[in-house]
């Protein structure tokens, strides 16, 4: 018997409802008066508050005209006389646009319009009938939020002007529209009980029958609303479960598909829109992150800042996130993350009198294990970050509300909300959140953020209106609108049922961001250490009567902070953002070089004696390293002291026969491509090489839409053919160093490898001079080590993390590419191999093979990403004992901190068991601050040169001591009287 | 023309996540390669018209700009 599928071709009740709902929405305005006097000047933003204009004078802008240009900002003006009958009445300004507009009327910032909202209340903010409009509009080919289909449909650089209007809202129609919006979502989303959905559809169908759509009358609309009230909202037969906290928030990427100069106005628009919602809805509260964004409002829009301050004092506009920006939490160093808190909290304290007790990072790409201690010591007890729950590609992160234990054992309350940080407050989204919430049995509520974002925008009137209706919908979880702080305190404080997550918060996605745009990463590393150098030397020069350049250093640090934003340093941005960052970096490098200055003697800024072979720049030097002439020497300068470098003459330390080389440490057999076939350790009497070792491999890297962000595990499936163009040959050798060179080519790129063997170092340095013209490729250098190890030890910048290298479970399988800082190491009892880098963060390890990620070639969002010349070094460092015995961390510091020339005296030192992470003048200028971190996982006693104040990371005094017992991975901040 | 496209037009399109590369100028027709966001733009014609207007305003040349789209492989469906 043939099966015939029954298919309904006639209109279903829900389709009939939707059709009539569309007609109803057309009646939202009871009056609409067109403003016909618009004038426009097209421009392009060149800095935060400067613009290049295309037109000398404004041109008329009429409905149907084209407006906006690529990367364009438009200044639109109009003068309008309000109809007499509207005086004293409520009216709005309406303008449907794909652009983001800040609207000023009669000299006052009155609100914002964007693809997520087409009208703003006006009558409350203007007097008289004469209205002068000044609109600043910024148009993007990529809308704020790609999740809003309406904004997606109007994307594009050039738009058609649809006219601007003074409108009067029909409150009865609008209210019914919100009712239906909410009920249609509840009924059709599938998130709720089927019988309830049927009840809603039946009721809506009947309710809309009260309205004659050929002649819509307000009394009929009210009848429809009353019918819904009686038949749906009064029905309590259906009950929902759960508790959901609703926190209004807007995510604002400081740079992404826009430059940071544009974030100033994106932020202002967002702030204005939320302030206006507060005017309209007395219960509305909103959470806003990033001290930097507040700073820009204060700097450029003081009148809005004054209003903002008032709302903050009332507890309605809530600064959340203690940090200066929302930084990437993989690549920045420990000291950078501390400064994010220090500069963020300093601003909030100074301007608003508050210390923000939460860290709010909804969009960051995983979180380093060092964070809990930093947060705890920066006045932060709560941590919020969304991505692990919604973006993990392999494992479901097992908690949403929990305790996060850090590398040193510090604990913070942590919330990884079950759903996305951008939602538009639909009943189904609230229900989905509760459904996905995994810590129901702790008795705590789940966090639902609502508001459009990425480029700001935030909550809308519709979201608030729907929220006000949620308690009428018995089928929904219990909801409560609150601040972020209220949610965190109420649900975490003293909750003994919370589970503990002890480890990093690794995001199982976006693994490419450790490598994409390699120049940014290496520059960031360099500047982090230059800032340490600049502060330390400035403190020492204070003793010589030189003023500490506090303002300048703070300014440079803040610029570094901004460029550590989670779509800048990870490389997930458009071309101009990269250019801006590089320009910032070059300027910072110059300014820091000026502060570091020059001297006659070499100064060792490390708090341990320099014992490793170091490259000393010297125009007469015979080695050219990264384009700089110099030579290698062992400085032998004690901690925090000056000294001279003595060159030793040495002969007969090196022998070479073709691809075979002999040094005091090794018998090396090279392959012609620069890989190492055999590395026999003469001291330890062992072979370090098992398979491909120092082997360059270029993989096809095609992760799809998240091109700059992701590396997929299948990258290993296909390799690019690499040809040896110039086989390895000895270039030269001197008293300390022997240099080999090999040049490899692909169809598009050229890769010179300079390999350096040393007389007095176990290290083998590899310099890579690359002309990189690939697309969708990932270059790695692989090391198949003759070491039995089941873990890769990785530097975090403040201690190490051990990561398993087997693939036993999905958790290890997912961590096929991880972030590390200066070094990684694979050891067995007796010895191991470390890889030390100068700005490479991505690394993979499987069994006894580790592979450092060197370069990527992605095309989205930046089609030019990483194309061009590169010159970078890494060091292979086989060693005796484990990485602690071998002092790998110190070797890595010596490799990353160049020796400087400075005529300073220190006169004191700190234990070389701890790393002197920072020596600076306190922010208030009253003391010298020294920050020491334990990095080897050891306990000990720190004896201080004099009695010191014990500080938290915000430089608040919390005690005093002359001796401190320290614990593994502890970070200690001390204050010394000037 | 190539210099103008590269130095004037290109940074503006890049500012919107797009990419434009000069291919050739033949008679009064300028061909450009469009990548990034431009490659999938639904209203690209409006933008190319603007490029024509700018060329006329700045170079005094009346040309037709023809765009070749090159979508990323993952959007080329």
User: What is the DSSP code string of A878-943?
Assistant: EEES-TTTTTHHHHHHHHHS--EE----------TTSEEEEEEE-TTSSEEEEEEE--SS--EEEE
CB-CB neighbors (< 8 A) of B65 in chain A:
none
- The three-state secondary structure class of A177 is helix
- The three-state secondary structure class of A312 is helix
pLDDT of residue A71: 95
Beta carbons of B15 and A71 less than 8 Å apart = yes
Q: Which of B16, B72, B74 comes nearest A70 by C-beta?
A: B16
B18: domain CATH number? 3.30.300.130
Beta carbons of B15 and A66 less than 8 Å apart = no
Q: Which of B15, B42, B50 comes nearest A576 by C-beta?
A: B15
Q: Give the CA radius of gyration of chain B.
A: 12
- Report how far residue A788's alpha carbon sits from residue A831's, in angstroms, rounded to the nearest whole number: 10
Residues A342-370: what's their mean pLDDT? Answer: 98
pLDDT band, residue A151 (cuts 50/70/90):
low
Q: Which of B9, B17, B49 comes nearest A574 by C-beta?
A: B17
What letter would DSSP give residue A554?
H
Chain B, 8 to 37: residues with Cβ < 8 Å from chain A are 9, 11-19, 35-37
In a domain, B13, yes or no: yes
- The three-state secondary structure class of B58 is helix
Beta carbons of A705 and B42 less than 8 Å apart = no
Residue A143 pLDDT greater than 60, yes or no: no
CB-CB neighbors (< 8 A) of A257 in chain B:
16-17, 37
- Report how far residue A790's alpha carbon sits from residue A806's, in angstroms, rounded to the nearest whole number: 6
Per-residue pLDDT reduced to its tens digit, A406-450:
999 999 999 999 999 999 999 999 999 999 999 999 999 999 999
Cis geometry, peptide bond prior to residue A174 (ω within 30 degrees of 0): no
In a domain, B63, yes or no: yes
Cis geometry, peptide bond prior to residue A865 (ω within 30 degrees of 0): no
Find the closest chain B residue to A55 by CA distance.
Answer: B57
Q: Which of A158, A859, A864 comes nearest B50 by C-beta?
A: A158
Tell me the two tokens of residue A869. 């010349």
Pairing type for strands A676-681 and A666-670 reads: antiparallel
pLDDT of residue A133: 98
Query: Which residues contact residue A545 at a Cβ distance below 8 angstroms, ignoring those fewer than 6 apart?
Result: none
Contact A835, A820 (CB under 8 A): no
CATH architecture of A908-978: Sandwich (2.60)
Q: Which helix (H) or strand (E) holds A592?
A: helix A575-596
- Report how far residue A369's alpha carbon sits from residue A278's, in angstroms, rounded to the nearest whole number: 38
In a domain, B27, yes or no: yes
Query: Which residues contact residue A2 at a Cβ distance below 8 angstroms, ignoring those fewer than 6 apart?
Result: none
Tell me the two tokens of residue A832. 């191991």
Per-residue pLDDT reduced to its tens digit, A172-196:
999 999 999 999 999 999 999 999 9
- Report how far residue A538's alpha carbon sits from residue A557's, in angstroms, rounded to the nearest whole number: 15
pLDDT band, residue A145 (cuts 50/70/90):
low
pLDDT of residue A148: 60
Whole-complex ipTM? 0.97
Residue A888 CB neighbour total at 10 angstroms: 27
B7 touches chain A (CB under 8 A): no
CB-CB neighbors (< 8 A) of B9 in chain A:
70
- The three-state secondary structure class of B65 is strand
CA distances from A463 to A18, A80, A595 (A): 20, 31, 51
Beta carbons of B47 and A158 less than 8 Å apart = yes
HSE of A557 in the Cβ direction (CA atoms, 13 Å)?
27
Beta carbons of B73 and A257 less than 8 Å apart = no
Beta carbons of B36 and A156 less than 8 Å apart = no
Measured in angstroms, the CA of B11 and the nearest CA of chain A are apart by: 8
Tell me the two tokens of residue A627. 């384009």
Q: Which domain holds residue B61?
A: 2-72
Tell me the two tokens of residue A252. 């604002």
Q: How many helices (H) and strands (E) does chain B have?
A: 3, 3
Residue B26 pLDDT greater than 70, yes or no: yes
- Report how far residue A192's alpha carbon sits from residue A463's, in angstroms, rounded to the nearest whole number: 19
- Report how far residue A947's alpha carbon sits from residue A942's, in angstroms, rounded to the nearest whole number: 12
Beta carbons of A864 and B19 less than 8 Å apart = yes
What letter would DSSP give residue A548?
P
In a domain, B77, yes or no: no
- Report how far residue A240's alpha carbon sits from residue A224's, in angstroms, rounded to the nearest whole number: 25
pLDDT band, residue A374 (cuts 50/70/90):
very high
- More confidently predicted of A459 and A139: A459
Residue A390 pLDDT greater than 60, yes or no: yes
Q: Which of B12, B41, B73 comes nearest A156 by C-beta?
A: B41
Measured in angstroms, the CA of B36 and the nearest CA of chain A are apart by: 6
- Report how far residue A616's alpha carbon sits from residue A158's, in angstroms, rounded to the nearest whole number: 55
Chain A, 245 to 304: residues with Cβ < 8 Å from chain B are 257-259
Find the closest chain A residue to B73 by CA distance.
Answer: A704
Q: Which of B11, B46, B49 comes nearest A156 by C-beta?
A: B46
Residue A100 pLDDT greater than 90, yes or no: yes
Chain A, 686 to 725: residues with Cβ < 8 Å from chain B are 702, 704-705, 707
- Report how far residue A185's alpha carbon sits from residue A470's, in angstroms, rounded to the nearest whole number: 12
Size of interface A-B (CB pairs under 8 A): 88
Percentage with pLDDT > 90 across chain A = 95
Contact A425, A465 (CB under 8 A): no
DSSP string, A617-681: E-TT-SEEETTEEEEEE-----TTEEE--------S--EEETTEEE-SSEEEEE-TTS-EEEEEE
- Report how far residue A708's alpha carbon sits from residue A455's, in angstroms, rounded to the nearest whole number: 19
In a domain, B44, yes or no: yes
- Report how far residue A588's alpha carbon sits from residue A108's, in angstroms, rounded to the nearest whole number: 37
CATH superfamily, domain A652-900, is Golgi alpha-mannosidase II; domain 4 (2.70.98.30)
Contact A639, A614 (CB under 8 A): no
Interface test with A, best of B8, B11, B15, B32 (most A CBs within 10 A): B15
- The three-state secondary structure class of A580 is helix
- Report how far residue A141's alpha carbon sits from residue A68's, in angstroms, rounded to the nearest whole number: 11
Give the start-to-end residue ranges of the domains of chain A. Answer: 29-169, 173-233, 243-509, 652-900, 908-978
- Any idea which residue has 């990072």 for tokens? A361
Per-residue pLDDT reduced to its tens digit, A921-947:
999 999 999 999 999 999 999 999 889
pLDDT band, residue A8 (cuts 50/70/90):
confident
Residue A52 CB neighbour total at 10 angstroms: 10
- Report how far residue A82's alpha carbon sits from residue A127's, in angstroms, rounded to the nearest whole number: 10
Check the CA dihedral A549-A550-A553-A556 and report its sign: negative
Check the CA dihedral A937-A939-A945-A948 and report its sign: positive
The strands making up A602-604's β-sheet, listed across from edge to edge, are A641-643, A602-604, A900-901
One-letter-per-residue 3-state SS of A57-88: CCEECCCCCEECCCCCEEEEEEEEECCHHHCC
Query: Which residues contact residue B7 at a Cβ distance below 8 angstroms, ignoring those fewer than 6 apart?
Result: none
CB-CB neighbors (< 8 A) of A66 in chain B:
46, 50
CB-CB neighbors (< 8 A) of B42 in chain A:
155-156
- The three-state secondary structure class of A11 is coil
A751 touches chain B (CB under 8 A): no
Cα–Cα nearest to A165, from A227, A266, A95 = A95
CATH top-level class of A29-169: mainly beta
Per-residue pLDDT reduced to its tens digit, A742-770:
999 999 999 999 999 999 999 999 999 99
CB-CB neighbors (< 8 A) of B32 in chain A:
none
Residue A110 pLDDT greater than 70, yes or no: yes
CB-CB neighbors (< 8 A) of A157 in chain B:
13, 16, 18, 41, 43, 46-47, 50
The tally of domains found in chain B comes to 1
- Any idea which residue has 């009646």 for tokens? A27
Residue A478 pLDDT greater than 70, yes or no: yes
CB-CB neighbors (< 8 A) of B37 in chain A:
141-142, 257
- Ramachandran region of residue A13, left (φ > 0), alpha (ψ -120 to 50) or beta? alpha
* Helix axes of A260-280 and A461-469: crossing angle, nearest 10 degrees: 40
Q: How many helices (H) and strands (E) does chain A have?
A: 19, 53
Residue A155 pLDDT greater than 60, yes or no: yes
Residue A527 pLDDT greater than 70, yes or no: yes
Residue A534 pLDDT greater than 70, yes or no: yes
Find the closest chain B residue to A262 by CA distance.
Answer: B15
pLDDT of residue A40: 98
Per-residue pLDDT reduced to its tens digit, A803-845:
999 999 999 999 999 999 999 999 999 999 999 999 999 999 9
CB-CB neighbors (< 8 A) of B19 in chain A:
575, 863-864
- Report how far residue A157's alpha carbon sits from residue A99's, in angstroms, rounded to the nearest whole number: 9
- Report how far residue A375's alpha carbon sits from residue A505's, in angstroms, rounded to the nearest whole number: 15
Reported residue count of chain A is: 978
Residue A910 pLDDT greater than 90, yes or no: no
Residue A144 pLDDT greater than 60, yes or no: no
Contact A583, A573 (CB under 8 A): no
> What is the topology classification, in CATH, of domain A243-509?
7-stranded beta/alpha barrel (3.20.110)
Residue A295 CB neighbour total at 10 angstroms: 18
CB-CB neighbors (< 8 A) of B41 in chain A:
141, 155-157
- Report how far residue A486's alpha carbon sits from residue A178's, in angstroms, rounded to the nearest whole number: 27
- The three-state secondary structure class of A47 is strand
Residue A141 pLDDT greater than 80, yes or no: no
């Amino acid at each position: 018997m043939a099966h015939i599928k029954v298919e309904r071709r006639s209109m279903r009740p829900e389709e009939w409802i939707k059709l009539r709902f569309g007609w109803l929405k057309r009646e939202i305005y009871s009056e609409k008066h067109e403003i016909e006097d618009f004038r426009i000047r097209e421009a392009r933003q060149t800095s935060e508050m400067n613009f290049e204009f295309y037109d000398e004078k404004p041109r008329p802008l009429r409905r149907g005209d084209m407006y906006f240009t690529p990367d364009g900002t438009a200044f639109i003006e109009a003068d309008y006389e309000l109809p007499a009958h509207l005086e004293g009445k409520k009216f709005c300004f309406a303008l449907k646009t794909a652009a983001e507009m800040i609207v000023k009327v009669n000299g006052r910032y009155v609100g914002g319009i964007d693809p997520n909202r087409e009208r703003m209340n006006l009558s409350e903010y203007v007097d008289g009938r004469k209205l002068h409009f000044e609109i600043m509009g910024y148009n993007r080919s990529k809308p704020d939020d790609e999740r809003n289909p309406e904004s997606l449909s109007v994307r594009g650089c050039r738009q058609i002007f649809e006219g601007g209007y003074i409108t009067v809202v029909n409150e009865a129609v609008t209210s019914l529209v919100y009712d239906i919006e909410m009920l249609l979502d509840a009924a059709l989303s599938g998130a709720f009980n089927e019988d309830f959905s049927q009840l809603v559809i039946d009721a809506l169908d009947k309710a809309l029958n009260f309205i004659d759509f050929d002649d819509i009358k307000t009394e009929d609309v009210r009848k429809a609303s009353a019918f819904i009230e009686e038949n749906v909202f009064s029905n309590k037969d259906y009950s929902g479960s759960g508790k959901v906290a609703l926190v209004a928030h807007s995510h604002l990427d400081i740079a992404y598909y826009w430059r940071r100069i544009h974030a100033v106005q994106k932020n202002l628009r967002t702030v204005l829109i939320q302030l206006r919602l507060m005017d309209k809805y007395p219960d509305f509260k909103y959470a806003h992150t990033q001290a930097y964004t507040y700073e820009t409002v204060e700097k450029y829009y003081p009148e809005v800042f004054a209003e903002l301050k008032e709302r903050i004092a009332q507890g309605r506009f809530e600064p959340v996130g203690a940090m200066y920006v929302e930084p990437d939490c993989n690549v920045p160093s420990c000291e950078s993350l501390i400064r994010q808190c220090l500069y963020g909290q300093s601003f909030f304290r100074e301007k608003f009198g508050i210390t923000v007790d939460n860290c709010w990072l909804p969009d960051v790409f995983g979180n380093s294990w060092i964070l809990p201690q930093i947060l705890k010591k920066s006045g932060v007890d709560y941590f919020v970050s969304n991505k692990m729950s919604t973006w993990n590609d392999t494992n479901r992160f097992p908690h949403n509300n929990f305790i996060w234990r850090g590398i040193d054992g510090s604990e913070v309350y942590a919330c990884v909300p079950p759903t996305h940080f951008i939602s538009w407050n639909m009943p189904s989204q609230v229900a989905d959140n509760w459904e996905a919430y995994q810590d129901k049995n702790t008795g705590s509520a789940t966090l639902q953020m609502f508001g459009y974002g990425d480029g700001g925008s935030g909550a809308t009137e519709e979201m608030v209106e729907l929220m006000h209706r949620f308690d009428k919908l018995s089928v929904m979880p219990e909801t409560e609108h609150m601040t972020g702080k209220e949610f965190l305190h109420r649900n975490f404080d003293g909750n003994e049922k919370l589970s503990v997550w002890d480890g990093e918060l690794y995001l199982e996605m976006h693994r490419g961001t450790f490598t994409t745009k390699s120049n940014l990463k290496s520059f960031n590393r360099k500047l982090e250490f230059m800032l340490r150098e600049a502060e330390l030397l400035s403190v020492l020069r204070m003793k010589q009567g030189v003023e500490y350049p506090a303002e300048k250093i703070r300014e440079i640090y803040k610029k570094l902070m901004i460029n550590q934003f989670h779509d800048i340093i990870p490389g997930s941005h458009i071309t101009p953002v990269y250019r801006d960052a590089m320009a910032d970096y070059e300027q910072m490098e110059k300014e820091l070089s000026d502060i570091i200055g020059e001297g006659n003697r070499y100064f060792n800024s490390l708090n341990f004696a320099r014992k490793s072979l170091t490259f000393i720049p010297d125009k007469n030097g015979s080695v050219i390293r990264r384009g700089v002439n110099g030579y290698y020497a062992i400085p032998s300068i004690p901690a925090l002291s000056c000294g001279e470098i003595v060159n030793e003459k040495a002969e007969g330390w090196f022998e070479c026969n073709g691809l075979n080389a002999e040094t005091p440490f090794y018998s090396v057999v090279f392959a012609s491509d620069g890989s190492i076939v055999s590395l026999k350790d003469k001291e330890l009497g062992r072979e370090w090489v098992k398979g491909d070792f120092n082997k360059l491999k270029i993989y096809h890297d095609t992760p799809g839409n998240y091109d700059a962000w992701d590396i997929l595990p299948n990258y290993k499936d296909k390799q690019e053919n690499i040809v040896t163009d110039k086989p390895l040959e000895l270039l030269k050798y001197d008293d300390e160093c022997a240099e080999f060179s090999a040049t490899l080519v692909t169809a598009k790129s050229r890769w010179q490898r300079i390999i350096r063997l040393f007389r007095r170092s176990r290290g083998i340095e590899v310099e890579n001079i690359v002309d990189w013209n690939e697309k969708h490729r990932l270059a790695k250098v692989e090391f198949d080590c003759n070491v039995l190890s089941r873990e890769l030890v990785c530097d975090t910048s403040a201690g190490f993390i051990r990561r398993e290298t087997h693939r036993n479970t999905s958790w290890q399988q997912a961590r096929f590419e991880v972030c590390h800082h200066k070094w990684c190491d694979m050891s067995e009892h007796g010895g191991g191999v470390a890889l030390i880098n100068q700005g490479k963060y991505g690394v993979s390890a499987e069994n006894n093979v580790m592979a450092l990620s060197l370069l990527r070639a992605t095309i989205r969002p930046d089609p030019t990403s990483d194309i061009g010349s590169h010159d970078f070094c890494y060091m292979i460092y086989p060693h005796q004992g484990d990485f602690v015995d071998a002092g790998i961390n110190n070797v890595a510091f010596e490799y990353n901190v160049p020796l400087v020339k400075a005529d300073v005296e220190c006169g004191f030192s700190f234990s070389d068991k701890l790393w002197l992470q920072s020596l600076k003048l306190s922010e208030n200028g009253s003391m010298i601050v020294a920050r020491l971190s334990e990095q080897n996982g050891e306990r000990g006693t720190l004896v201080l040169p004099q009695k010191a104040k014990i500080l938290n990371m915000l430089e608040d005094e919390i005690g005093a001591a002359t001796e401190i017992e320290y614990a593994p991975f502890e970070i200690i901040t001390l204050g010394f009287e000037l | 023309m190539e210099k103008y496209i590269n130095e004037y037009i290109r940074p503006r399109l890049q500012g919107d996540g797009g990419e434009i590369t000069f291919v050739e100028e033949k008679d009064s027709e300028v061909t450009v390669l469009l990548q990034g966001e431009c490659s999938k733009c639904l209203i690209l014609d409006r933008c190319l018209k603007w490029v024509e207007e700018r060329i006329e305003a700045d170079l005094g040349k009346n040309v037709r700009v023809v765009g070749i789209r090159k979508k990323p492989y993952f959007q080329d469906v």
